[in-house]
Amino acid sequence: MKSRLLILAMLMLIFSSCKKWLDVDLINQVDENKLFSREQGFVDALAGSYNQMAERELYGRKLSFEMLDVLAQYYSYNGIGVEYKQMRDYQYKDAAVRKEIDDVWRDLYSNIAAVNNIIRWEQKNGSVMRPNIRKKVLGEALGLRAYLHFDLMRLFCEDIKFNHLAKGIPYNKQFGVALPPAYTLAECYQLVLSDLEAAWDNLNEADPINNNVPYLSANKNMADRDVARMNKYAVRALMARVYLAKGDKVNAIRCAKEVVDSHKFRLLDFKTSIDVDDNKKDILFSDEHIFSLRSDSIPDLSARLHFETKKGNATEFAKLPFGDASGVYGANMDDARYQFWFDLGKVTKYTRIKMPVFSPKIPLIKLSEMYLILAEASYDIDRDQAAVYINTLRRARIRNVSDWHFISRDNIFEEMIREFPGEGQLFFAYKRLNRAIRNTAGTGDIEPSNTIFVLPIPDKELENGNR
């Protein structure tokens, strides 16, 4: 009963914050029977889940350009705001840090509960939807369930490649289960991949992206409809990410190539995205987005962390000043990332200019990541082909760049560092590769270990017996 009341309250919060998405009568409680009695109700509920993911406590700030990028040491070690110093130093037992971590666990599982509720009602009353819409809704919901669980695994579990017997997390496949079973990490990987295969089976023929090429759409907001959700290629791209994390490079290559070869997305084209009027510049490289989330709050949330603020005659320093943008990009103004994502060392990726053509968004999976996955996974199989993938990506980033004829693993990782600021992915790359984390303290790199890479599961979860 408590679980049901929690999800009802959570749904009310989602719906009340997404009025432009939803037209649902709310008085004292969500009338689920009414909501899921029509096709639009399922679509609205799914939209609510995307909006919850885009909130500041999840991917709209904390799991993109805040907490995870602090852990990746993107920000100035000595210049970081006092409220982030314990997080910067991986002091996970600190009360304030522990609360932030516990909140991530809670909010991710809350969103999983909402997605499971959609799946439950699809099984119960899905016949109110047209067959193709039913498959689309179910496919997206299953894909989201896999995405959210996988990020919980990446945050709170050991790396499976280094510990095949590692403990996993509770994998919640049913709505309203107070204590979902906890699985081994190997079982969790299988559950994620099973959800993704089921998502693919539902979306493969029913996804509207089959009939569209998002980057060719003259109306960018129409293009957003295909990539602002868990479309079929986002499912395949996530599978590539999961297989790489698992150490299955053959399947990682297979899935990443399927996304690249679909030609539904393209790497940055300077002529059409950069060499245009300022109000039409696409500095987030939207043509590459396979899955991204929209939120009008993103520019303001970024500015509050990355810019100085004035209070009267006093100036407060930025809470999260970037560490060394010039060093990361070699001060190369021909690199579009350095040119447009930074200004005098400040992060302007989400705030630089107002672009009426493009909605504020956070990329969750990009085409560039597929090229990085292909390069990393191919390195030991065909090093020349790995170089082709990296050079292709670099040509879509740096004007007049010369190709690398020989590459190392370090070359590939340097591109990851340059590619992911503000997106929350670099910390996971450090963890997957068990690499020492570079910082700007001048005291040496931070050696990899589970005390850094594995966040503590909330005490209440352990007390309730889920482990």
For Cα atoms 170, 243, 212, give the angle at the middle one, nearest 5 degrees.
100
Does residue 223 have a pLDDT over 80? no
Domain presence at residue 99: yes
Alpha-carbon distances, residue 267 vs 17, 298, 371, 434 (angstroms): 34, 23, 10, 28
Does residue 355 have a pLDDT over 80? no
Domain presence at residue 372: no
Q: Mean of the pLDDT values across residues 365-380?
A: 98
Confirm if 35 and 122 have CB atoms less than 8 A apart. no
Domain presence at residue 431: no
Q: Out of 192-206, 353-367, 375-389, 411-425, which region has the weakest mean confidence (pLDDT)? A: 353-367
In percent, the amount of the chain with pLDDT more than 70 equals: 90
In percent, the amount of the chain with pLDDT more than 90 equals: 81
Q: Note the pTM of the prediction, 2 decimals.
A: 0.92
pLDDT digits (tens, 9 = 90+) for 382-399: 999 999 999 999 999 999
* Residue 97 belongs to domain with CATH number: 1.25.40.390
Domain presence at residue 197: no
Domain presence at residue 35: yes
The answer to whether the Cα torsion of 78, 79, 85, 89 is positive or negative is negative
The residue segments making up the domain with residue 164 are 1-187
Q: Can you give the pLDDT at residue 13?
A: 44
Domain presence at residue 307: no
Q: Mean of the pLDDT values across residues 110-122?
A: 96
The answer to whether the Cα torsion of 366, 372, 375, 380 is positive or negative is negative
* The two three-digit tokens of residue 462, written as one number: 């352990």
User: Which residues, in sequence order, are CB contacts of 187 under 8 Å at separation 6+?
Assistant: 168, 171
- Residue 462's pLDDT band, with cuts at 50, 70 and 90, is low
Domain presence at residue 54: yes
Mean of all residue pLDDT scores within the chain: 90
Question: Quick count: other Cβ atoms within 10 Å of Cβ 289?
Answer: 26
Determine the Cα–Cα distance for residues 406 and 461; give it in Å rounded to an integer.
Answer: 48
At 37 the three-state DSSP class reads coil
Domain presence at residue 446: no
Alpha-carbon distances, residue 182 vs 66, 153, 172, 186 (angstroms): 29, 12, 9, 12
- Residue 175's pLDDT band, with cuts at 50, 70 and 90, is confident
Q: Mean of the pLDDT values across residues 276-297?
A: 93
Q: Can you give the pLDDT at residue 18?
A: 39
Q: Count up the domains in the chain and report the number.
A: 1
Determine the Cα–Cα distance for residues 442 and 464; give it in Å rounded to an integer.
Answer: 43
